Amino acid sequence: MSEEARLRERICLLAASMFDRGLTAGSTGNISALTPDGGLLVSPTGTSFGRLDPARLAHFDAKGRQIGGDKPTKEMPLHSAFYQTRARAGAVVHLHSCHAVALSTLPDQDAENFLPALTPYAYMQLGRVRLLPYFRPGDPEIGTAVRGLAGKNSAVMLANHGPVVAGRDLEGACNAIEELEATARLALLLRGATPNLLTPAQVDELVRIHDIAWGDE
């Protein structure tokens, strides 16, 4: 089996795993990954994470020309913006995960640092998550907003919509977006309480030791 064929299978396997665990539903969410030759595989529009077909993934060459597969997700501007601005990006995942979306709808969220400092793991995998304003799904301006971050963030939260994470590889992107959802769930469980948060010094230590994409690099 070729590297590209293995990547196709892995995209579908990981997408199905997220679907089966309720991290996205119906035909929501999209996923992409760079191929070994610099091309791109992308989930098709209107497809379910639970039923992706490896042979039907939209396939683009290194120049951005579609060379195979079905019509790609309408969120291509979002995926392209991460690949164009974030040198470390090897895969991008966008979900409509319940707890992250719920947290994004609440007032007084910190747009510069969406997730509270509850555990080290979200920082280690995501860095600082930026909360972007609401955009209509598929709006090219989502891509413009991501490019405006100049590659400084590996993850964003689209208000009233869902999280988006760029990882160095496919597994890394999937692990990170799951950590984002888990942290959002913790934040909702603790809403109205006064939890002990990580201190700024503890966060700074994580950033230094783990070479975290902190949004100001």
- What is the count of structural domains for the chain? 1
Annotated catalytic residues are 75, 121
Q: What is the pLDDT of residues 95-143, one digit of tens each?
A: 999 999 999 999 999 999 999 999 999 999 999 999 999 999 999 999 9
Q: pLDDT averaged over the chain?
A: 95
Q: What is the pLDDT of residues 158-200, one digit of tens each?
A: 999 999 999 999 999 999 999 999 999 999 999 999 999 999 9
Percent of the chain whose predicted confidence (pLDDT) is above 70:
98
Model confidence band, residue 88 (pLDDT cutoffs 50, 70, 90)? confident
For residue 171, the domain's CATH number is 3.40.225.10
User: Which domain does 165 fall in, by range?
Assistant: 3-209
pTM score of the predicted model: 0.95
Q: Output the CA torsion 105→26→189→116 (10° steps).
A: -60
Any domain includes 215: no
Any domain includes 214: no
